[in-house]
Structure 1
Amino acid sequence: MYKIVNRVSVNKNLGKYWNVFQCEDTEKCDLSIDINSSVFEYCGINVFPETDYPLVFQSENALVSANSDWSKVNITLLAGKQDGLEGALSAVLMTHLSIRNGLLMHASVVEYQEKGILFVGPSGIGKTTQAMLWNQYKNAIIINGDMSLIHYEDSKYYAYGYPIHGSSPYCENRKVEISGIIILEQSLENRIEKITGIMMVESVMKNIFLPKWFEKGVNDALKTINGLLSNVPVYLLKCRIDQQAVELVEGVLFK
């Protein structure tokens, strides 16, 4: 059993990074994932185990079927090949949480003074690099260098660790209240400014993964995003890779 915001049961050992999220509470399962392989191939046709759930999408060699509230999921691997399994698992977790006050964001997350900072942006923008600077200069804990789960609970927004972390080696099983969202932009000079309105929404939205195959999930996720942006400040950080970039963020979030 894993604890990734909710309790997740998987019938397969998913490796060391998932093992970080193992929990002892096995009494209740919020999401059950059954991973299996096609039974056999006949004349080029893959024959799959019977399932009570409709097929939703395919991620390379992984076919995903789910019940209506995404609490029970089957992942069938074509010919037992695991290509696409990580993407399928990520999509399943994202979809499950979308109707349970959760989001998946392309962001590194650090914990500093018991608060969380999200560094947001596409691959290669420097999310992990900024997180490493915070670790170097402020002894902040890097929870994940590439992905973060966002969850609304107890009237607050929290960032959670996530077993999938891209090319970044950082993967911690921690939860921290979010103090701010930092949109990254590479620059020759360091400068930070608070952003609002359309610029804020567009900057954040393009770094959030939405379950486009699940209409209710998209609608509920948009409500969660609206709440997040109404309660958590968003800043644009134009920055170099140096200590001053760290000091600028600390100055606006930890006055």
Structure 2
Amino acid sequence: MNFSIAGLKIEVDGMDVLPQQMFNLRPFVSVTDDAAEPICKIKCGCRLATAVGHPSLTSSFDGKTLSLWLLPGRNVVALRLGYHGTTYHLEASCDWLHVRTDCTADTLAGSIALGDFIMISFIYSSAYHDTVLIHASCVAVGSSAAVFVGPSGIGKSTHSNLWLRYVAGSRLLNDDQPALRVHNGDVMVYGTPWSGKTHCYRNESARVSNIFVMAQAKRNEAVRLDGPNSFCALIDMTSLIKSDIASFTRISGTVAAIASRVGIYKLYNRADREAVETSHAICLQSYNKEK
């Protein structure tokens, strides 16, 4: 089965039918047999050797524990599903083009693990194609989009919802992890299968008008960030493994290219209609300047 995410092809060998629990991937199933080369080829149901030694990275999220080993010539991931008591494994080439995993989509636990492995594989294989997955909420109006970034709880989704209320023709593109891609000289934002608690899985794209770094305040004001501060604000919101020098170099290069092409603002806001008018006015200025 093939998926098209951010205009990039992911090939999954060993999954002929998409399980119901992986419904977030359904809009991204590629129904045409295009000739594009996949950026990542995932083979399911493989027999893998267990990694030994201390992992390079361990993190816990949503009742799961992920361990990563950066080894000579390959990367190894172990994903333990705490509520199922099952551990699944992944082995990838250093460029994440070739990925093997011992899980399949035949069971509930296996499909959960495979969904996570597809996301991980996309993050690090797309890094070699000028693409980053970023922690953000994104609203599109026509062919342009505004992207709101910042840590959890800062008001990204709230500001997006205010745009949906007050800006005519606006639509939510993604509410947690859209993809940013430098493509044909433009910075594009894409909906992805990963949208947090909001079920918004649009296989759509728009050109990024502006990026806003959210900050709660008692006033509404947008302050443009310079190059270094723009880069730092974005790199902190990207999904990456800093100890993986190869992918970190690629991702940081893409973030630098985005920061040089798009106006990035610190948006001090009270989460009200005036805040929307402030961010929307900047996007309109950018749009008119492009025309």
TM, length-normalised to structure 2 = 0.76
Please name the residue that 1:25 is paired with: 32
Contact 2:140 2:170 in 1 (8 A): yes
Please name the residue that 1:228 is paired with: 258
Contact 1:210 1:221 in 2 (8 A): yes
**C-alpha offsets along residues 41-97 of structure 1, whole Å, 9 cap, x if unaligned?**
xxxxxxxxxxxx84522233332211343222122249x634654443222101001
Please name the residue that 2:117 is paired with: 88
Show the 5 A alignment for 1:47-58.
54-58=74-78
Please name the residue that 1:242 is paired with: 272
Mapped to 2, the partners of 1:37 and 1:71 lie a distance apart of 16
* 1:63 and 2:89 are equivalent in the alignment: yes
Mapped to 1, the partners of 2:228 and 2:213 lie a distance apart of 14
Please name the residue that 1:109 is paired with: 138
Contact 1:102 1:150 in 2 (8 A): yes
* 1:178 and 2:211 are equivalent in the alignment: no
Contact 2:46 2:100 in 1 (8 A): no
Please name the residue that 1:36 is paired with: 45
Which contiguous aligned blocks of 4+ residues in structure 1 show a shift greater than 6 angstroms?
none
Contact 2:181 2:188 in 1 (8 A): yes
Say which SS state the counterpart of residue 45 (structure 2) adopts: strand
**C-alpha offsets along residues 148-205 of structure 1, whole Å, 9 cap, x if unaligned?**
1111111111111110111122221101111111001122322211111443222222
Contact 1:119 1:181 in 2 (8 A): yes
Mapped to 2, the partners of 1:193 and 1:55 lie a distance apart of 41
Contact 1:109 1:144 in 2 (8 A): yes
**C-alpha offsets along residues 102-121 of structure 1, whole Å, 9 cap, x if unaligned?**
11110111111311111001
Contact 1:185 1:236 in 2 (8 A): yes
Gaps of 5+ in 1: 40-52
Mapped to 2, the partners of 1:55 and 1:113 lie a distance apart of 40
The amino acid across from 1:36 in the alignment is G
* 1:201 and 2:235 are equivalent in the alignment: no
Mapped to 2, the partners of 1:86 and 1:8 lie a distance apart of 12
Identity of aligned residues (%): 22
Mapped to 2, the partners of 1:172 and 1:216 lie a distance apart of 30
The alignment yields a C-alpha RMSD, in angstroms, of 2.4
Mapped to 2, the partners of 1:135 and 1:187 lie a distance apart of 21
Contact 2:179 2:190 in 1 (8 A): yes
Contact 1:161 1:174 in 2 (8 A): yes
Mapped to 1, the partners of 2:114 and 2:30 lie a distance apart of 22
Gaps of 5+ in 2: 49-72, 81-86, 286-291
Mapped to 1, the partners of 2:164 and 2:202 lie a distance apart of 14
The amino acid across from 1:251 in the alignment is A
Mapped to 2, the partners of 1:205 and 1:225 lie a distance apart of 7
Mapped to 2, the partners of 1:162 and 1:2 lie a distance apart of 11
Mapped to 1, the partners of 2:75 and 2:257 lie a distance apart of 32
Mapped to 2, the partners of 1:176 and 1:59 lie a distance apart of 34
Say which SS state the counterpart of residue 209 (structure 1) adopts: coil
Mapped to 1, the partners of 2:74 and 2:260 lie a distance apart of 36
Which deviates more, 146-155 or 10-19? 10-19
Contact 2:146 2:212 in 1 (8 A): yes
- Shift in Å at residue 249 of structure 1? 0.6
Using a 3 Å threshold, how does the CA distance of structure 1 residues 226 and 119 change in structure 2: closer, same or farther?
A: same
Say which SS state the counterpart of residue 254 (structure 1) adopts: helix
Please name the residue that 2:8 is paired with: 6
Using a 3 Å threshold, how does the CA distance of structure 1 residues 222 and 54 change in structure 2: closer, same or farther?
A: closer
Mapped to 1, the partners of 2:130 and 2:93 lie a distance apart of 19
